[in-house]
Amino acid sequence: MAFILETVVTTRNADGSHHLAPYGLIQDGEGYVIAPFHPSPAIENLRRRPFAAAAAPVDLRVIAGAVTGRRDWPTVACETIDLVRLADAFGHMELAVESVTEDALRPRFRCKVVHSASHLPFVGYNRAQAAIIEGAILSTRLDLLPREKIEAEMAYLRIAISKTAGPVEQEAWGWIEEKIRDGLGS
């Protein structure tokens, strides 16, 4: 198994705007692999312009929002590549694609880290934030996973939310719950 970092990735769209979505960056030696499932604008973007920025969000509403139709989060310019990255980030990496492994389902873009920076001190872990990441991932797999598994995992994750969420995490969790409720028709 590889170590995977859950990040908010930005790439440049053909019209100059940016695409923002959470992706798990798979560690590969000194670099990382971005592996979006087809179809995704990120795939076309990385083919056309082989650069990405991957940020660690401070506010987990960015991750919950990006998978529930709320993708308009503030960005700032990257430092070494012509791209933007999520503004509200503990840190970020600027990535250049070195090679592509083609796959009909999930091409793999192997990236070199051309720059990385910390922006805020990281002062501790929070269970509700971890639960939001898990819940957000579940919400993107409603067609792939059995309903019972989704319901059981959400029930478990809800414990961490009820014990450790602040208002921001409660809002993020609410978006995920709503999407899953609608998706499962429950």
Ligand X SMILES: Cc1cc2nc3c(=O)[nH]c(=O)nc-3n(C[C@H](O)[C@H](O)[C@H](O)COP(=O)(O)O)c2cc1C
Closest approach, Cβ 176 to ligand X, in A, equals: 9
Q: Which of 3, 14, 27, 37 binds ligand X (CB under 6 A)?
A: 37
Q: Which of 55, 63, 150, 180 binds ligand X (CB under 6 A)?
A: 63
Contact between 42 and ligand X (CB under 6 A)? yes
What span, in angstroms and rounded, lies between the C-alpha atoms of 175 and 70? 10
- Cα 134 from Cα 11, distance rounded (Å): 23
Q: How far is the CB of 41 from ligand X (least distance, A)?
A: 5
- Cα–Cα distance between 14 and 122 in angstroms, integer? 35
Contacts of 106 (CB under 8 A, 6+ apart): 35, 36, 37, 38
Query: Does 65 contact ligand X by CB under 6 A?
Result: no
Q: What SS3 class is residue 164?
A: helix
Q: Assess 151 for contact with ligand X (CB under 6 A).
A: no
State which of positions 124-143 bind ligand X (CB under 6 A): 133, 136-137, 140
* For helices 127-139 and 147-164, angle between their N-to-C axes, nearest 10 degrees: 160
- The footprint of ligand X on this chain (CB under 6 A) covers a number of residues equal to 17
* The one segment of 15-23, 49-57, 89-97, 115-123 that binds ligand X by CB under 6 A: 15-23
Yes or no: say if 64 and 172 are a contact pair by the CB < 8 Å rule.
yes
Q: Which residues of 130-143 are buried (b: 16+ CB within 10 A; e: fewer)?
A: ebbbbbbbbbbeee
Is residue 33 involved in binding ligand X (CB under 6 A)? Answer: no
Which of the residues 68 through 127 are near ligand X (CB under 6 A)?
none
Residue closer to ligand X, measured from CB, 79 or 182: 182
Instruction: Give the residues lining the site for ligand X (CB under 6 A).
Output: 6, 21-24, 35-37, 40-42, 63, 67, 133, 136-137, 140
